[in-house]
Amino acid sequence: MSFDKFRAYSFSGFALCSVFFTTLIDATPSHADQKVSFYQQVRPILQAHCAGCHHPRNPEGDYVVTEFVDLLKGGESESAAIVPGKPDESYLVKLITPEGNEAEMPKAKTPLAQEQITLIRTWIQQGAVNDSPAKVEYRFNKENPPTYSAPPVITSLDYSPDGKLLAVAGFHEVLLHKAEGDQIVGRLIGKSQRIESVTFSPDGKFLAVTGGTPAERGEIQIWDVAQQSLVKSIPLTYDTIYGASWSPDGKLLAFGCSDNTLRAVEVATGKEILYQGAHYDWVLDTVFSKDGSHVISVSRDRTTKLTEVKTQRFIDNITSITPKALTGDWQPSIAILHRIRFWSVVQTGFPSCIRSSVSPIA
Ligand code: HEC
C-alpha cells in the first residue's frame, strides 16, 4: 500500500488507523538497530529446536549445529548454511522460512516463531559473529584454585582400591584426601564447575569424574592419580553428567545423562560404545555387572534398568520381584550389593543423589 493510500484509509476512522499502524510497526525489523547476540539469543533457539537432530553423534543431513564452524559450513547439500552478512544467501534461512504454514526446518515440526526467524536473520545480517565467552570454564586452575566461604555440598566420595586415598567432590575440583582424612594430597581442578561423581578405576591408577556446567555442557574427566594430571576431557550433552562406573577390566566407563540416556565410552579413545534411551527421567547412577556384560542404571524416577553392553539393548526393569535379583546366581545383582548408594528425597521434594563409598580396608 502506498503511503498516500494509507493516509486516505487512516482518515476513514480511528480504529482502522490503529490497525494499519500496528501492521506498519510489525513490518519494521525490531532488531535492526540492536546487536543480536549469538550466545544469548540465537544459540538457545538452535539448541531447543535443532540440536536434537543436528548433534555430532548422528547428524541428520550431515549437519551439526552445536559447533560454530559446522553451523556456518552446512551439511550434505554442500551449500553454506550461513553466509555472514547475507541472510538471503544462507541455506539455513531458506529452510526455516515458512511457505504457507510449513517450513522445511525444523523437519516435520511447527515452524519457528516469526520473532525467532527475524532474530536469526538479523544476526546473520550483522555478520554472524560468535560472541560466546571464551573459556568461561577456565576460571580456576592450579595457580588460582577455587576458594570456599562455606563447606560445599559433597555430591560424591570414593576410596581408592588400596584404601589410601579418598576422592571428594568439590566445586570445580576433586580433592584427594589421605584416607585418614588429616591431609589433602591433591586438588584436581578442571573445567566443570559442578562435580556429580568421582570413581577410581579398578586398578586405582585413574579417577573418573563426571559433571559439567548446568544447562550448558557435560564433561567426563579422566585423571592420572599418581601424576595428578588430566588425561582426558570428553565434552558431552548440554547438562551435567552423573554416576560414572568403570567396567571391571577398566576399559569402559558408563554414566548417566539428564537427556534420559545411559551411555558408555571406551576410555582409551573416548568413543561412545553404548547409548540407551529407555529411561523416562535423568539417569543418576550406573554400575557394571561383575563380568562387565551388563550395566544397571537408576533414574530420578526411581526406576532401575538392565542393559546389555554388547548389543546396547535394554533388557528389563529391575524390581524387587525380579527373579533371582537378590541371590548370588544373578551376576549383576551382586554388583549392586557391592556398592552402597544412598538415595534421598529432600524436603523440597527434589531428589538428590549422594554417592558414598566404603573403605576397602574397613
Ligand atoms: C526432526 C529432525 C530435525 C530437526 C528437529 C531439524 N532438522 Fe534440519 N534436517 C533434518 C534432516 C533429516 C535433514 C536432511 C535433509 C532432509 O531430509 O530434508 C536436515 C537438513 C538440514 C539442513 C541442510 C544441511 C545440508 O547442507 O544438507 C539445514 C541447514 C538444517 N537441517 C537446519 C535445521 C535447523 C536450523 C533446525 C532447527 C530450526 C533443524 N534443521 C531442525 C532433520 C531435522
Nearest CA to ligand 1 atom 15: 61
174 vs 238: which has the higher pLDDT: 174
Domains of the chain are 38-125 (no CATH), 157-314 (2.130.10.10)
Q: 95 and 87 in contact (C-beta within 8 Å)? A: no
State the pLDDT at residue 323: 54
pLDDT value at position 333?
41
Question: Do 251 and 268 meet the contact criterion of CB atoms below 8 Å apart?
Answer: yes
The whole-angstrom separation of Cα 285 and Cα 196 is: 10
159 in ligand 1 pocket by Cβ < 6 Å?
Answer: no
Most confident listed range (12-21, 41-50, 120-129): 120-129
What is the Cα–Cα distance from 265 to 291, expressed in whole angstroms?
17
Which is higher by pLDDT, 141 or 25? 141
Residue with CA at minimum distance from ligand 1 atom 13: 61
| pLDDT band with cut points at 50, 70 and 90 for residue 230 | very high
CA of 91, closest atom in ligand 1: 29
- Is the pLDDT confidence value at 202 over 60? yes
* Residue 64 pLDDT class (50, 70, 90 cuts): very high
Q: Report d(CA 242, CA 262) in Å as an integer.
A: 10
* Measured distance CA(94)–CA(61) in Å, rounded: 15
- Phi-psi sector, 13: left (phi>0), alpha (psi -120 to 50), beta: left
The residues near 150 (Cβ < 8 Å, ≥ 6 apart) are none
Residue 53 beta carbon below 6 angstroms from any ligand 1 atom = yes
Locate the DSSP E strands across 301-345.
304-308, 313-317, 341-345
The residue type at 275: Y
Query: Which protein residue has the closest C-alpha to ligand 1 atom 36?
Result: 50
User: Over the stretch 349-361, which tens digit does the pLDDT of each residue have?
Assistant: 333 445 666 666 5
Predicted structure pTM score = 0.58
Q: What gap in Å lies between CA 255 and CA 75, rounded to an integer?
A: 30
Examine the pLDDT at 136 and tell me if it is beyond 60. Answer: no
Q: What is the CA radius of gyration of the chain?
A: 26
List the residue whose alpha carbon is closest to atom 19 of ligand 1: 61
**Residue of 32, 34, 64 whose CA lies nearest to 51:** 64
| Residue 317 pLDDT grade (very low, low, confident, very high; cuts 50, 70, 90) | confident
Counting every residue written for the chain, the total comes to 362
Q: What is the pLDDT of residues 74-121, one digit of tens each?
A: 999 999 999 999 999 999 999 999 999 999 999 999 999 999 999 999
Helix (H, G, I), strand (E, B) or coil at 265: strand
How many C-beta neighbours within 10 Å does residue 212 have? Answer: 27
Residue of the nearest CA to atom 31 in ligand 1? 105
195: CB partners within 8 A, 6+ apart = 155, 156, 169, 170, 171, 172, 173, 174, 209, 210, 211
Tell me the C-alpha distance between 309 and 332, whole Å. 12
Q: Is 77 in the pocket of ligand 1 (CB under 6 A)?
A: yes
Residue closest to 198 by CA, chosen among 235, 245, 260: 245
Ligand 1 centre distance from Cα of residue 106 (Å): 6
pLDDT at residue number 150: 83
CA distances to 74, 94, 190 from 170, rounded to whole Å, are 40, 47, 11
Question: Ligand 1: which of 42, 50, 66 to mutate, most ligand atoms within 8 Å of CB?
Answer: 50
Q: At what angle do helices 3-11 and 14-27 cross, to 10 degrees?
A: 150
Q: Which residue has the cell 551382586?
A: 334
Distance CA 170, CA 154 (A): 6
Which ligand 1 atom is nearest residue 106's CA? 41
pLDDT in tens, 20-54: 334 333 444 454 568 999 999 999 899 889 988 99
Whether ligand 1 lies within 6 angstroms of the CB of 119 is answered as: no
